[in-house]
Amino acid sequence: MNIVEIDHVTKTFGTHRAVDDLSLSVPEGSIYGFIGPNGSGKSTTLRMIMRIYYPDVGSGNILVLGKNVRGAANDLIGYLPEERGLYKKMKVRDALRFYAEIQGMRDYKSSIIDWLERMELSAWADKKIETLSKGMAQKIQFISAVIAKPKLVILDEPFSGLDPVNMDVLRAAVLNLRREGSTIIFSTHDMSVAEKMCDYIFMIFKGKKVLDGTLDVIKDEYGQDTILAALPDYKGSLSDLGGVEKVTDLGHMQELRITPNTNSQAILTQLMKRGRITHFELSRPSLHDIFVRIAGPEAQLSQQPSALEEVHHA
C-alpha cells in the first residue's frame, strides 16, 4: 500500500511554478529521500503532503494515508518543518509535553524520558529551550514531531547543521522509527546520507521530477561510467586522456567520467604512463555526481543555447 499518492499535482505561487505536474508514490514502511537544489520545490511538496499548502485548483490531488481531506491537523503524521520553531521560553520537558498533548497523546511521561535519554538530552529536561544549542534544539524538535508515534513522518532537512555525533544519533532514531513501522519522508542536501539511508530517492529540479526510484535503478541508468584513480606523484592534468569526458579533482583522488563505449582498461594503460597508481576503481556514478550532472553548472551550460534562443526570439 502507498502511504502517499501524488497524482499530477501543480502548485504555483503568483507566476512562479514551484511544483510542476508531479506524480509520486511513497510505499508504506519505506524511507523516501527528497533531493534537489535550493528552491527547486522540495519543501513545497512536503508542505502539500502535510496539507499546509493545497495543490492548484484544477490540478491533480494528493492522497495521504489513503484519504484526501482538508486541513493539516492529523495525529498520524509527524512534521519537522525546515525552519525550526519552538517556544523559546518553555522548558524542554514542558514543550515536549505540550506537543505530545496536542497530538492527542495521553500517556506521554515515559515516552518523554525515553526520548530525552535516547537523544542524550536528559540533563537538559528542565532547561529553557533558549539555552539549548542549535543542534540540541533540533533534536528536541525532532522528538516533538515523532513522540506520538505517527504512521508517516515528514522531515524537512532533519540533518542540516548537525555535528557527526548528533547526526548518528538522529540517523539511528530515524531508522528505529522505520523499524517500528513508520514511513519516513525526508529532504536533504547531504547526498551521502540519502545514499546510505533511503530506500527510494526522489529528485526535483525546477519543480519537475527528474529522478525517482531505488538507488540501484537510478545508478543503473547512468551505467559504470566512472573511474576513481589516485596518482600521488603526478601533478599534471588528466583531462587530455582519450575517452575521458570530465575530470573532477577530489583532492587525493581524481574522478574520471568516461565517454560511452570506452574501455576502462585503455584508460588504465594511459594512466600507468603518467605515474604510480595507488588506487584504481571502476564504479557507478555517486548520487552526488548524478545530482551535479542534472543540476550543476554543466547542465546549466547545456541549457544555455536554448536560453539564448529565447532572447533572440524576444
Partner 1 sequence: MRKTFVVAMREYQAAVRTKTFIITLVLMPVMMGGGVGMQILLHDKVDTKDKHIAVVDLTGQLYESLSSAATERNEKGIFVEEEGVKKQVQPRYLVEQTTPTSDDRDELLLDLSEQVRNEEIFGFVIIEPDAIVNSDPNPMRQAMSYYSNSPTYDEVLRWIDDPINEAIQIRRMKTANLDAEVVTKATQKHRMANLGLVEKDEAGIITKAQQTNELANIIVPLGMMMLMFMTIMIGAQPLVHSVLEEKMQRISEVLLGSVPPFQLMMGKLLGMVGVSMTIGTIYLAGSAVAIYYAGYGEMFPSHIVVWFLVFQALAVLMFGSLFIAVGSAVSDLKEAQNVMTPMTLVMVAPMFVWINIVKEPTSTFAVVLSLIPPVTPMLMTIRQAVPPGVPNWQPLLGVVLMLITTFICVFIAGRIFRIGILMQGKAPSFREAMSWIAHG
Provide the binding-site residues for partner 1, judged by CB under 8 A: 50, 52-53, 71-75, 77-87, 89-90, 98-99, 101-104, 141, 144-145
CB of 109 to partner 1, least distance (A): 15
Task: Using the minimum distance from each CB to partner 1, give the nearer residue, 30 or 103.
Answer: 103
CB of 273 to partner 1, least distance (A): 58
* Spatial separation of the C-alpha atoms in residues 181 and 134, rounded to whole Å: 29
Helix residue ranges, H only, the chain = 42-50, 92-102, 109-118, 134-146, 164-179, 191-197, 215-222, 264-274, 287-295, 297-313
C-alpha cell at 98: 505540550
| Residue type at 38 in one-letter notation | N
Task: Using the minimum distance from each CB to partner 1, give the nearer residue, 92 or 218.
Answer: 92
Kind plus residue range of the DSSP H or E element containing 200: strand 200-205
CB of 83 to partner 1, least distance (A): 4
CB of 13 to partner 1, least distance (A): 10
CB of 247 to partner 1, least distance (A): 43
Name the β-bridge partners of 5: 25, 63
Task: Using the minimum distance from each CB to partner 1, give the nearer residue, 100 or 229.
Answer: 100
Q: Residue 199: how many CB atoms within 10 A of its CB? A: 16
Task: Using the minimum distance from each CB to partner 1, give the nearer residue, 85 or 297.
Answer: 85
CB of 46 to partner 1, least distance (A): 11
* Spatial separation of the C-alpha atoms in residues 230 and 201, rounded to whole Å: 30
Task: Using the minimum distance from each CB to partner 1, give the nearer residue, 50 or 121.
Answer: 50
Task: Using the minimum distance from each CB to partner 1, give the nearer residue, 170 or 231.
Answer: 170
DSSP labels, 221-286: HH-S-EEEEE-TT--S--TTSTTEEEEEE-SSSEEEEEPTT--HHHHHHHHHHHS--SEEEEEPPP
DSSP-derived secondary structure letter, 38 = T
